[in-house]
Amino acid sequence: MKIVICPGIHEAQLTNSFLSGLQGLIPTGSNLSTKVNILIYPYHNFLSLSGIHIFQFLQEQLKDKLESPVVFIGFSAGVVGAMFAAWKWQMWTGNVKAFIAIDGWGVPVCGNFPIHRISHDDFTHWSSKILGSGDNNFYADPPVEHLEIWRSPQKVPGWWVDSLMGEAPAKRRLSAGEFLYLLLEHYVQN
């Protein structure tokens, strides 16, 4: 499985911090550490908004391996470009396993693949769901600054809301990093 990371408009160091925090949660020998290849879209400027550029990056990286499952993770402005790239990849008969929008406030997300939102506060969570989301979403509680959820997801406590992969209860306390890890582990196994 491929994970395509689409950063927003910010310093590249924040994305490095995001990856370090996430990798610190992954146990050695787990499916995520052995069966996943992470591709990081290299731009942290206005090209983060360009789905065409992200799609071209994906084509360059994967060539004709359309059957390879892809999970998109977009942050902030990167959600815009990642959403377009996911649609385009699927139109080319690519396998979009899931789409994860991290703090993509005001960005409509929809598709015939699973969609999840991770938000830095409950207002962003609630108001973003109006523009599309699926089951299994997360919001920080207490609220954190916008960039903090990207910089240190493992340190951001909050709530996993909606269904839990079809199981009850409908709300569970954990960190944003743990939530993201559980989502990715689910998609590696299924």
Q: What is the CATH number of the domain that holds 76?
A: 3.40.50.1820
Return the minimum-mean-pLDDT range out of 59-73, 79-93, 174-188.
59-73
Q: Which domain holds residue 26?
A: 2-189
Of 142, 140, 148, 94, the residue nearest 117 (C-alpha): 140
Residue carrying structure tokens 């925090």: 21
User: Is residue 124 pLDDT above 70, yes or no?
Assistant: yes
Where does the pLDDT of residue 162 fall: very low under 50, low under 70, confident under 90, or very high at 90 and above? confident
Where does the pLDDT of residue 68 fall: very low under 50, low under 70, confident under 90, or very high at 90 and above? confident
Expressed in angstroms, the distance from the first to the final Cα of the chain is 11
pTM over cut 0.85 = yes
pLDDT value, residue 164? 44
Distances (CA, A) of 90 to 40, 69, 72, 98: 19, 11, 12, 11
Where does the pLDDT of residue 163 fall: very low under 50, low under 70, confident under 90, or very high at 90 and above? low
Of 118, 107, 116, the residue nearest 81 (C-alpha): 107
Type of residue found at 123: F
User: Is residue 132 pLDDT above 80, yes or no?
Assistant: no
In sequence order, what are the residues at sequence separation of 6 or more whose Cβ sits closer than 8 angstroms to the Cβ of residue 178? 25, 154
Task: Express as a percent the part of the chain with pLDDT over 90.
Answer: 58
Tally of domains in the chain: 1
Residues in a beta bridge with 111: none
Task: Give residue-wise pLDDT tens across range 168-187.
Answer: 446 789 999 999 999 999 99
